[in-house]
């Protein structure tokens, strides 16, 4: 059995928090293992001028993952720790999502200056997000809103919001906020010297594929790594992820695709609900599918058939 394990991660505060969660999970199942860490800067971290909302301009797939995947293939790290929603639908040849940690909350959160509810935002309010999925759903729900692209890590976006007297709020993931230590229970976020409202959008926006899940990616030919990582795998989360990533694969999409999916697992029963956006002028397609949790890819295929029926 291995004695030393090297994690690869991006260097943002959130990515490092996710790597620390992975480190603790490893320690719980293999206390003798020495865990090292290597930090990578990805193209998405450097190219802040690229638009993530205009997916074609962003250069698409692997924007936040390629450097870690290259290190895996090159053997300089044993596992890459990803926010699963950053992963394209296809793993590069030779790599696999070997395990996923237990999923956190999947909701998006409105971080607002004043509004206590989404419907309290005034007509014409400006919201910031870097997600095409969030932008399209927000515009569909409230055509009056002005959606602007805001990039940067969580702290950068909170600071920009505090310094702006024009933007009403920004949209962030609940899982990321909580992993960074923000307590949303009181409905506020304290980011000195500012205090913001924190409004769940769980009833308004469907989450991204993989949202709230941490993916542990490794080489398929590293049996000793696979053995260790599978001890960390959360079966219910992995079942949900299998369904969501199969839908992503069928749609030939990447992490910037305007699709939202909510997966519910109750015992041996799986339910999927999705919304998919096409051209700006067209209404979105919505669909639901359910079936045995033992065959998540089949449930995803049924959902895909409704969203993109054969011509």
- Kindly state whether residues 86 and 166 are assigned to the same domain: no
pLDDT of 35: 95
- Confirm whether 86 is a catalytic residue: yes
**What is the C-alpha separation between 142 and 117, in angstroms, rounded?**
13
Domain boundary among 200, 217, 244: 200
One of 45, 78, 86, 233 is an active-site residue; which one? 86
- Kindly state whether residues 115 and 157 are assigned to the same domain: yes
pLDDT of 50: 53
**What is the C-alpha separation between 272 and 263, in angstroms, rounded?**
5
Tens-digit pLDDT profile for residues 83-101: 999 888 889 999 999 999 9
Q: Contact at 8 Å (CB) between 250 and 301?
A: yes
Nearest to residue 291, comparing CAs of 262, 260, 265, 259?
265
pLDDT of 51: 53
Domain boundary among 200, 224, 242: 200
- Kindly state whether residues 21 and 166 are assigned to the same domain: no
Find the domain containing 166 and state its range.
108-200
- Kindly state whether residues 170 and 57 are assigned to the same domain: no
**What is the C-alpha separation between 290 and 106, in angstroms, rounded?**
19
- Kindly state whether residues 82 and 125 are assigned to the same domain: no
| Ordered DSSP codes for 251-283 | TT--TTSSEEEEEEEETTEEEEEEEE--STTSP
Tens-digit pLDDT profile for residues 122-169: 999 999 998 999 999 999 999 999 999 998 889 999 999 999 999 999
C-alpha dist (Å) from residue 163 to 43, 113, 189, 194: 27, 11, 15, 9
- Kindly state whether residues 162 and 191 are assigned to the same domain: yes
- Kindly state whether residues 99 and 113 are assigned to the same domain: no
pLDDT of 20: 97
Low-confidence ranges of the chain (pLDDT < 70): 1, 47-61, 253-256, 309-311
- Kindly state whether residues 231 and 179 are assigned to the same domain: no
- Kindly state whether residues 245 and 100 are assigned to the same domain: yes
Cα 100 versus chain centre, distance:
13
Domain boundary among 157, 182, 200: 200
- Kindly state whether residues 239 and 286 are assigned to the same domain: yes
- How many domains does the chain contain in total? 2
What is the spatial order of strands in the sheet that 188-191 belongs to? 146-149, 126-129, 169-173, 108-112, 194-200, 188-191
- Kindly state whether residues 163 and 227 are assigned to the same domain: no
**What is the C-alpha separation between 124 and 105, in angstroms, rounded?**
29
Give the relative orientation of helices 154-163 and 13-29 as an angle to the nearest 10 degrees. 150
- Kindly state whether residues 134 and 265 are assigned to the same domain: no
User: The domain spanning residue 20 has which CATH number?
Assistant: 3.40.190.10
């Amino acid at each position: 059995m291995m004695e030393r394990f090297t994690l690869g991660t991006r260097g943002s505060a959130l990515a490092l928090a996710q790597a620390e969660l992975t480190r603790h999970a490893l320690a719980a199942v293999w206390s003798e293992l020495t865990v090292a860490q290597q930090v990578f800067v990805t193209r998405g971290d450097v190219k802040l001028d690229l638009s993530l909302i205009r997916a074609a301009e962003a250069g698409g797939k692997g924007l936040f993952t390629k450097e870690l995947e290259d290190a895996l293939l090159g053997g300089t790290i044993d596992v890459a720790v990803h926010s699963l929603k950053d992963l394209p639908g296809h793993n590069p040849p030779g790599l696999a999502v070997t395990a996923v940690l237990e999923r956190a909350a999947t909701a998006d959160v409105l971080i607002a200056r004043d509004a206590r509810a989404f419907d309290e935002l005034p007509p014409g309010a400006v919201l910031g997000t870097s997600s095409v999925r969030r932008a399209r759903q927000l515009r569909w729900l409230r055509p009056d809103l002005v959606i602007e692209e805001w990039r940067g890590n969580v702290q950068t976006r909170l600071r920009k919001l505090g310094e702006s007297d024009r933007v009403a709020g920004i949209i962030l993931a609940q899982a990321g906020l909580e992993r960074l230590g923000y307590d949303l229970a009181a409905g506020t976020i304290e980011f000195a010297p500012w205090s913001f409202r924190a409004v769940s959008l769980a009833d308004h926006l469907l989450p991204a594929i993989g949202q709230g899940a941490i993916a542990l990616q490794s080489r398929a030919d590293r049996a000793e790594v696979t053995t260790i990582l599978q001890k960390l795998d959360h079966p219910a989360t992995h079942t949900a992820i299998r369904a969501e990533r199969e839908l992503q694969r069928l749609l030939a999409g990447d992490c910037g695709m305007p699709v939202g999916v909510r997966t519910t697992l109750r015992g041996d029963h799986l339910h999927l609900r999705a919304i998919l956006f096409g051209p700006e002028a067209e209404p979105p397609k919505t669909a639901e599918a359910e079936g045995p949790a033992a065959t998540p890819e089949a449930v995803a295929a049924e959902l895909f058939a409704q969203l993109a029926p054969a011509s």
